[in-house]
Amino acid sequence: MPPREAGHKLLNWASQIEDGTLEQARQTAAMPFIHPHVALMPDAHLGKGSAVGTVIPTLGAVIPAAVGVDIGCGMIGVRTAFTKDDVDGRITRTRVGLGALRVAVERAIPLSPGHYNTELGQWDFTAAKIAELERRADDEGVDLVHSPKWRQQLGSLGGGNHFIELCLDETDRVWLFLHSGSRGVGNKIAQHHIAVAQRMCAQWHVVLPNRDLAYLAEGTPEFERYLADLGWAQRFAFLNRAEMMDRFGAVFARWMGAGDHRETERINCHHNYTRKERHAGRDVWLTRKGAVDAHQGATAIIPGSMGTHSYVVTGLGSVAGLCSAPHGAGRRFSRTAARKRFTQGDLRARMAGIEYRDSAEFVDEIPDAYKDIGVVMEDARDLVEIRHELRQILNVKGT
């Protein structure tokens, strides 16, 4: 869908959008350091301070609350050499269904907020990731005193809309797929710097339309400290997904009776982050709050909601879209509203044919609580090209 002007320095790709989301985006676009404009992605919806699904280019400043509290949240997908026939054949031969695989995944990866690893030596690929993060923290002076258990958090999923799935693509090739971020340690880092930004703006007597648009100015010690901590948290999120995927692959291979999971491609991408990019002739800090990198040729993942299709895409390098694309379906109803509107029976009907943990606690994640991913992808047709369409056959969620 071609973008529409939705206000001064604001372009909108969303055909499904609420007035409150537009107002949040207009407030963000009105900040004095925006260049060249704010881009609202097709899945945009209300967020804290600024809308989720907003791409924000800034000159000489970064807004910590716009980056968000789940720094580096994103997707990882692995294509395997296995097919649906391999999975079906394994079930037929062993009479061990996908329910056993789901339980094994739930045992290998801690689920839900506050659930961490009880020991760190269970997997031989974990130590190298922890060592890298320790070195980076030492080299860049990242103070992690607020999160003494950050090592135990590596390889844990979290809750909300974070998930693990076994999927099939349009050729029935098996994919391993999951969504998570920087967990509790990233949240602590974000909350600290959001408070610092609010304090600094108050000291500078900056009048803000929303206190969650408080920013840190480039050239200050506070800005440099945030960028160092942010970079560490983004790397933690990347490695957290990699750790879970390595475990998922090992568990899946064991369930298949194979030596390994036969990985042929791996895609690991953020959708909540900031980095330096060049747009409209200037070097800007580009914040993607619920958006993926869609530079020409870049590969990314756009998940649907629980029970709907997801997509592996290639970026088209849209200049107007700030080389970005949506990060998912985007919520239609809040969690509270979804629980009032839908039942466990509704969820069962929507998850028919998919192995999942049948529980009322997931009602607020029902696909009907989200925007139609088909419409989102149609709105994004000038931002990305679809490479693969994935349908899940197994879903694991944290509460």
Catalytic residues: 327
Has 161 been labeled as part of a binding site? yes
Q: CB neighbours of 125 closer than 8 A, spacing ≥ 6?
A: 243, 246
Has 179 been labeled as part of a binding site? yes
State how far the Cα of 109 lies from the Cα of 154, in Å rounded to an integer. Answer: 10
Has 330 been labeled as part of a binding site? yes
Has 329 been labeled as part of a binding site? yes
Has 271 been labeled as part of a binding site? yes
Has 162 been labeled as part of a binding site? yes
Rounded to 5 degrees, what are φ and ψ at 141? 65, 35
Q: What is the DSSP letter of 122?
A: S
Measure the CA dihedral 182/185/190/192, to 10°: 180
C-alpha to C-alpha distances, 272 to 15, 25, 60, 120, 228, nearest whole angstrom = 22, 16, 19, 27, 16
Has 238 been labeled as part of a binding site? no
Read out DSSP for 206-219?
---SSGGG--EETT
Has 156 been labeled as part of a binding site? no
Has 295 been labeled as part of a binding site? no
Has 23 been labeled as part of a binding site? no
Has 163 been labeled as part of a binding site? yes
User: Residues marked as binding for GMP?
Assistant: 161-165, 271-272, 303-306, 310, 327-330, 397
Q: Give the annotated binding-site residues for Mn(2+).
A: 70, 162, 179, 271
